[in-house]
Structure 1
């Protein structure tokens, strides 16, 4: 009987221990579950942090989009720069103060806009040398290549008026002169929001009527003081870029008003030419720093 009771007690003890062990097993997975929940919480946090990362390129993209549209420069362009140079009666530029360097030249390019590849090359070279220039445009070419005119404006270059048809204005009547000049003012303003402030007559040929019409539009009338003669190189077979450089350097003087054109050999020569000018201690006049008050120089042609 004692053995029976002992046996029964042993069986009960075994059953009790087994039951306890069975109850404890479900408790163990709760630890991994809590770890999973903890990892999930970390994963939940990560996307929040990661979601802010794509915004960073957006912030970087905004200036580039503005630069592409030319809007980055608008605040500066809307505030006229202080005049530093004045054009004299022979179309050279003189500093307005003793603290303004005299050894600077004005770069100008006539008869465009023509060709995207050529123009892009010239603009890239100007950017490389931190140089600004006046691009004197013809109306009929602007009409054919409006996107190139916009590119000039967006790149921060200055657009000048070179008449609509590139005809000798000195031989035209007053009505035709007004139309040739006024139509260019209109199309440039329509495309860029700004009318030209500088005028150069085709062939450098003008008279009182031409000067007065330019003045009526608030433009500074000019020809040039340093001709690259790039327009005379059509028949040359060799070394056209070298001759452009040579012609400019031979006529170099402080305040030079350098005449060039949108031509392939001029585009090819431009980088070396600007480098040589810099080596000689010359800088480049920003057209926006030219005084416009004396817009009718007393210089008979």
Structure 2
């Protein structure tokens, strides 16, 4: 899809949008401030189902007339990404990058649904426009979607204008398919620079990295992926996996094995709590 077409579609959506209010940034889940500690209570699988119904995770359709949604609230610019989640208890978070992919993502979603667990998906805009129904499903099932740029470039090789385009176009596509703008951003390859931190904060997104890399992007074998997750399991850990960007059949098989192990070991698999403005 050409850039001018994306902007045209965006203008048409905003012109008829109802004043529903903008989704603010999710609660900051890194330790370091009293506000973060108070609002860091994560949403954890079955426990959260007792509080929120699936329909509560999606905004109402963009219908009616009124002013466009407010711009996202700007955040304080960080100088390094969030690596762990804070909070009491045995909480961990599963994250998946590069999707959504029509072959692998549905299997991962099926496994998460089987165990009533939520996860984070850092998606690429060019994948979103081809698989909008998968983002709609993520919203319905309570998963959190983050921005992973449009084409998965190495940001340290791009100018500020190019980085802004990669991030903004992806946020627009996520809002169109998921129902709200992303509140989290992850730099491709974990390559951060000043512009990425500044632009992310300007667009209302917190930067998130990871604690444990499953190395599934190297297709090392299902057993290796499972071992990396189980050996790295600890309170506060953020696990990096992938649901696109190559053959991810090993990732699909691995989550079927390590997810019940984590739950049986007493871990709560969480996602950040959304904080509305």
Query: Could you tell me the TM-score, scaled by structure 1's length?
Result: 0.62
Counterpart-to-counterpart distance in 1, 2:213 and 2:252:
15
CA-to-aligned-CA distance 1:16-70 (integer Å, 9 cap, x gap): xxxxxxxxxxxxxxxxxxxxxxxxxxxxxxxxxxxxxxxxxxxxxxxxxxxxxxx
CA-to-aligned-CA distance 1:216-274 (integer Å, 9 cap, x gap): 111110111111110112xx5xxx22111111222222110100001211111112111
8 A contact 1:105–1:257 mirrored in 2: yes
Corresponding residue SS for 1:170: helix
Q: Which of 228, 233, 239 pairs up with 1:247?
A: 228
What is the root-mean-square deviation in Å for CA atoms of aligned residues? 2.2
> Are the structure 2 counterparts of residues 209 and 285 from structure 1 closer, same or farther at C-alpha, using a change threshold of 3 Å?
same
8 A contact 1:90–1:225 mirrored in 2: no
Deviation at 1:77, TM superposition (A): 5.8
Deviation at 1:124, TM superposition (A): 1.5
Pairing of 1:29-68 with structure 2 (within 5 A): none
Provide the residue aligned with 2:94 in structure 1: 107
Counterpart-to-counterpart distance in 2, 1:275 and 1:193:
30
Q: How many residues align?
A: 201
Q: Pick 1 or 2: higher relative contact order, CA cutoff 8 A, min separation 6.
A: 2
> Are the structure 2 counterparts of residues 76 and 166 from structure 1 closer, same or farther at C-alpha, using a change threshold of 3 Å?
closer
Counterpart-to-counterpart distance in 2, 1:202 and 1:193:
23
Q: Which of 205, 213, 218 pairs up with 2:204?
A: 218
Counterpart-to-counterpart distance in 2, 1:159 and 1:173:
25
Pairing of 1:88-103 with structure 2 (within 5 A): 91-95=83-87, 100-101=88-89, 103=90
Counterpart-to-counterpart distance in 2, 1:138 and 1:248:
24
Provide the residue aligned with 1:191 in structure 2: 177
- Which structure has the larger Rg? 1
Corresponding residue SS for 1:107: strand
The runs of 5 or more residues in structure 2 that have no matched partner are 1-52, 60-79
Query: Could you tell me the TM-score, scaled by structure 2's length?
Result: 0.67
Q: Does 1:181 align with 2:167?
A: yes
Whichever structure has more helix as a proportion of its residues is 1
Runs of 4+ that moved beyond 6 A: none
8 A contact 1:138–1:161 mirrored in 2: yes
The runs of 5 or more residues in structure 1 that have no matched partner are 1-71, 79-87, 294-301
Provide the residue aligned with 1:172 in structure 2: 158
CA-to-aligned-CA distance 1:183-229 (integer Å, 9 cap, x gap): 00111112232011111010001111101111111111011111111
8 A contact 1:132–1:287 mirrored in 2: no
Pairing of 1:128-143 with structure 2 (within 5 A): 128-143=114-129
